[in-house]
């Protein structure tokens, strides 16, 4: 009862500054105190078996938050005639959904119906960064899961061909600043991209002028226009399993994979931040944490799903 009152009070306070679900650090303190440990252990076990898991979880959380808020809409399966987000075009390389399923199963066994899938994904994304050698932070919790997921809405995600004004618009529509854009793009220190995500900027005859020519040449070798292996692509950077600031150093050398990465140099504010993050791992880490907390607080759903793949 005391908890209920405290919860309602904090909800009231937070609802004065924002609408939707109030997030708090101790949200599950009474109702499921071991949830964070269980989730961290599930992510760790999966990452030990498959080193692509951390990058996948970080990207999954970003996709979740950018469509309908962080409401686990990215986790829902298509049903009947409804094609869900995970079956939309930008889903290339979204994977490792089973990690969230495993964590949810274990958490449900302990405290049924309490911990939302959206919170599990937000925590798993944090755990993924930590496991990759990145910074840690306390994740505010209390997200609710949504009941809608539409493949057609994935067009709202920023594309790798976006220029700086398109990126700025996409982020500002979600209450995110140019600093958030510069810091969160650093998520591209982890993982892998398929040729299709950067093919259009490496073509021999009309290569993107902002790309380093020898880097473009090496990408053309990996991604020949004809005869391309089905899963051909490139790691984000040479240390793609390590969360570090290499991404920003590569941007300064014209060696980032996407036009949207390189575009950070075309606005004075993001350009300054790229230089700052390239020269200070510490300032990148601090900015990343601040912006992750902001992005992962974008409001979404209404319920606590029992199964992350289907609505209650
Ligand atoms: C700024 C706008 C962004 C664009 C245009 C963008 C675009 C992309 C694209 C095209 C891929 C490669 C997909 C593929 O070819 O398989 C990718 C991968 C990735 N993105 Fe982003 N992204 C953006 C922001 C973010 C943010 C904010 C994060 C997280 C903080 C993030 C984390 C990742 C990760 C970790 C991968 C690698 C996934 C894997 O290896 O499984 N991205 N992104
Ligand atoms: C991505 O979408 C395609 C259809 O557009 C689907 O066949 C595929 O299973 C999806 N991938 C994932 C990981 O859900
Ligand atoms: C970015 O692209 C949009 C759409 O193609 C275009 O209207 C705009 O002028 C471009 N902005 C910059 C800064 O290149």
What are the chain's domains?
2-157 (1.10.520.10), 164-290 (1.10.420.10)
Over residues 287-302, mean pLDDT: 96
Residue positions in the annotated binding site? 64, 69, 71, 73, 85, 158, 188-189, 237, 244
Rg (CA), the chain: 20
Residue positions in the annotated binding site for Ca(2+)? 64, 69, 71, 73, 85, 189, 237, 244
Q: Are 53 and 192 in contact (CB under 8 A)?
A: no
pLDDT given at position 10: 39
Over residues 198-224, mean pLDDT: 94
Task: Report the alpha-carbon distance of residue 80 to residue 64 in Å, rounded.
Answer: 21
Over residues 13-37, mean pLDDT: 78
Per the confidence metrics, is the pTM higher than 0.85? yes
Q: Is 260 helix (H, G, I), strand (E, B) or coil?
A: helix
Task: Report the alpha-carbon distance of residue 281 to residue 197 in Å, rounded.
Answer: 27
pLDDT given at position 141: 98
Ligand nearest to C-alpha 199: 1
pLDDT given at position 101: 98
Atom of ligand 2 nearest to the CA of 87: 2
For residue 272 the two structure tokens come to 């300054």
Task: Report the alpha-carbon distance of residue 269 to residue 149 in Å, rounded.
Answer: 34
The yes-or-no answer on residue 95 being catalytic is no
**Is the pLDDT reported for residue 7 higher than 90?**
no
Work out the mean pLDDT of the chain and round it to a whole number: 93
Q: Looking at per-residue confidence, does 141 or 90 come out higher?
A: 141
Q: Please name the residue whose Cα sits nearest to atom 13 of ligand 1.
A: 193
Q: Is 177 helix (H, G, I), strand (E, B) or coil?
A: coil
Question: What residues flank ligand 2, with Cβ below 6 Å?
Answer: 86-87, 91, 94-95
Q: Are 245 and 281 in contact (CB under 8 A)?
A: yes
pLDDT given at position 9: 36
What is the distance in A from the centroid of ligand 2 to the CA of 269?
37
Phi, psi for 233 (deg, rounded to 5): 170, -170
- Other Cβ atoms less than 10 A from the Cβ of 51: the count is 12
pLDDT given at position 257: 98
Q: Are 57 and 124 in contact (CB under 8 A)?
A: yes
pLDDT given at position 11: 38
Over residues 251-270, mean pLDDT: 98
**Is the pLDDT reported for residue 47 higher than 90?**
yes
Region at 175 (left for phi over 0; alpha for psi -120 to 50; beta for the rest): left
Over residues 163-188, the pLDDT tens digits come to 999 999 999 999 999 999 999 999 99
Task: Report the alpha-carbon distance of residue 144 to residue 141 in Å, rounded.
Answer: 9
Residues 6+ apart with CB under 8 A from 1: none
Comparing CA positions, the residue from 84, 135, 119 lying closest to residue 243 is 135
Percent of the chain with pLDDT over 70: 94
Ligand nearest to C-alpha 258: 1
Region at 104 (left for phi over 0; alpha for psi -120 to 50; beta for the rest): alpha
Length of the chain: 312
pLDDT given at position 22: 86
pLDDT given at position 227: 78
Task: Report the alpha-carbon distance of residue 245 to residue 224 in Å, rounded.
Answer: 29
Over residues 270-281, the pLDDT tens digits come to 999 999 999 999
Percent of the chain with pLDDT over 90: 87
Q: Please name the residue whose Cα sits nearest to atom 20 of ligand 1.
A: 59
For residue 197 the two structure tokens come to 């995500």
Kindly list the distances between the CA atom of residue 76 and the CA atoms of 83, 146, 310, in Å, as whole numbers in the listed order.
10, 9, 6
**Is the pLDDT reported for residue 8 higher than 70?**
no
């Amino acid at each position: 009862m005391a908890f209920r009152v405290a919860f309602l009070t904090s909800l009231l306070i937070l609802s004065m500054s924002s609408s939707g679900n109030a997030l708090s650090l101790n949200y599950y303190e009474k109702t499921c105190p071991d949830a964070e440990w269980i989730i961290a252990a599930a992510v760790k076990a999966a990452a030990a078996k498959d080193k692509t898991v951390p990058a996948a979880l970080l990207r999954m959380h970003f996709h979740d938050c950018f469509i309908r808020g962080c409401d686990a809409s990215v986790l829902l399966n298509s049903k009947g005639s409804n094609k869900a987000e995970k079956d939309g075009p930008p889903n290339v390389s979204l994977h490792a959904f089973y990690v969230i399923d495993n964590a949810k199963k274990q958490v449900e066994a302990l405290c049924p119906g309490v911990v939302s899938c959206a919170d599990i994904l937000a925590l798993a994304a944090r755990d993924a960064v930590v496991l990759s050698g990145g910074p840690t932070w306390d994740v505010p919790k209390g997200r609710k899961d949504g009941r809608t997921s539409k493949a057609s809405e994935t067009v709202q995600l920023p594309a790798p061909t976006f220029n700086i004004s398109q990126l700025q618009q996409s982020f500002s529509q979600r209450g995110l600043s140019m600093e958030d854009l510069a810091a969160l793009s650093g998520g591209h220190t982890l993982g892998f991209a398929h040729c299709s995500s950067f093919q259009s900027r490496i073509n021999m005859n009309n290569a993107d002028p902002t790309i380093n020519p020898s880097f473009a040449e090496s990408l053309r070798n990996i991604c020949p226009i004809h005869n391309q292996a089905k899963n051909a692509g490139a790691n984000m950077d040479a240390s793609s399993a390590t969360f570090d600031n290499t991404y920003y150093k590569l941007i300064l050398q014209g060696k980032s994979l996407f036009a949207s990465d390189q575009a950070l140099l075309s606005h004075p504010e993001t350009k300054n931040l790229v230089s700052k993050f390239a020269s200070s791992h510490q300032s990148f880490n601090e900015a990343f944490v601040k912006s992750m907390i902001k992005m992962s607080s974008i409001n979404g759903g209404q319920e606590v799903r029992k199964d992350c793949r289907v609505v209650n």
